[in-house]
Amino acid sequence: MRIFLTGGSGYIGRATITQLVEQGHTVEALARSERAEEAVVSAGASAIRGELTDLDVLKGAAARAEAVIHLAQATTGAEDLAAAAAMQDGVGGGPYVHTGGTWVYGDTDGVQDETAPWNPPGAVAWRKPVEDAVLGRAADGGHPVIVQPGLLYGGDNRLIDVFFTQPGKANGAVAYIGDGTNHWALVHVDDVAALYVAALSAPPGAVYVGVGGVNPTAREVAEAVAHAAGLDGKTVSITLAQARAAMGPIADAFALDQQFTPAKAQRELEWSPRHTDPLAVLAQA
């Protein structure tokens, strides 16, 4: 299958290109710079120069493809919606896989799935109208699918590094917010890449949370990262106000208490996460 992919030079993108190529797909990937072009080519894709705001480029590339995977992070909801519309127009009835995230559900009050109500923190509240519009194309003959990854780990980069490079670690300890008993819905980058590939065969209008099924507490994660950093597992509690001062509004997302099950994707796509011990991975030096 011919796939057009955005965000190919990023953390999830490189892993997804690798798995697509391994399964015999041909991939064209958007690249906004020479460095990004080198990254996608190294992963096995051919590069199309352009940015997420180049709507004609997006539509044309999607029209040449049989399916689209949109991984690039937009700067605003309006930008993401415009890019999604252009690519959906281009690919027509072919699968269009859009990226969301589990943070939109807010605190989950136990283990939840894709039917949980939305209660997003401000940093991701913009996703609701975008995802509604994307899924709305199913009624007009489109083939939208949404993947909502949890908090990523594994490989050479991870979103939680944004948190763990904040104050605390500089003082010889890894920080967590409050008492650290809030849970994080983690997923290994290779597992979520496999989910994007599997989502190409999902039915129109489907939504899948991309999680590993193991939801450790933020304090347990901090202890594992502190061990890997050679800090003898030393951690420190910081207040939400301190986290906000260091990180901005995204701190509220890291303070969420979230637990999710991957049962729907397992059932409908025959996808199962292979990495089921995130703490062991995170504790590796």
Residue 231's pLDDT is 85
Comparing 155 with 30, the larger pLDDT belongs to 30
> Using CA atoms, how far apart are residues 238 and 55, in angstroms rounded to an integer?
43
Find residue 69's DSSP bridge partners.
5, 97
What confidence score (pLDDT) does residue 163 get? Answer: 66
Q: Domain boundaries in the chain? A: 2-154+186-211+262-267
Give the least confident one: 116-120, 159-163, 170-174, 266-270.
Answer: 159-163
Give the pLDDT mean for 187-202: 97
For the chain, what percent of residues have pLDDT higher than 90?
85
Strand ranges of the sheet holding 67-70, from the earlier edge strand across to the other edge: 46-49, 26-31, 2-6, 67-70, 95-99, 143-149, 206-210
pLDDT at 170 over 80: no
pLDDT band at 226 (very low <50, low <70, confident <90, very high): confident
| pLDDT above 70: residue 167 | no
- The tally of CA atoms less than 13 A away on the side-chain side of residue 137 is 29
Identify the burial level of 284 via C-beta atoms within 10 angstroms of its C-beta, where 0-12 means exposed, 13-18 middle and 19 or more buried: exposed
pLDDT band at 73 (very low <50, low <70, confident <90, very high): very high
Check residue 53 and give its pLDDT.
Answer: 97
Q: Taking a C-beta distance cutoff of 8 angstroms, is the pair 145, 137 a contact? A: no
Tell me the average pLDDT of the chain. 93
Segment 222-239 shows an average pLDDT of 88
Contact 91, 221 (CB under 8 A): no
20 Cβ partners below 8 Å, 6+ apart? 3, 5, 27, 44, 197
Residue 159 has pLDDT above 60, yes or no: no
Is residue 230 exposed (0-12), middle (13-18) or buried (19+ Cβ within 10 Å)? Answer: exposed
How many angstroms from the chain centroid is the CA of residue 34? Answer: 24
Query: What pLDDT, on a 0 to 100 scale, did the predictor assign at position 56?
Result: 98
Return the CATH class of domain 2-154+186-211+262-267: alpha beta
Judge whether residue 142 has pLDDT over 90: yes
Residues whose CB is less than 8 angstroms from the CB of residue 230 and which lie 6 or more positions away in sequence, other chains included: 285
Determine phi and psi for 50, rounding to 5 degrees.
160, 175
More confident residue, 158 or 89: 89
* Count of Cβ atoms closer than 10 Å to residue 156 Cβ: 7
Burial (Cβ within 10 Å: 0-12, 13-18, ≥19) of residue 266: middle
Q: For residue 217, what is the DSSP state?
A: B
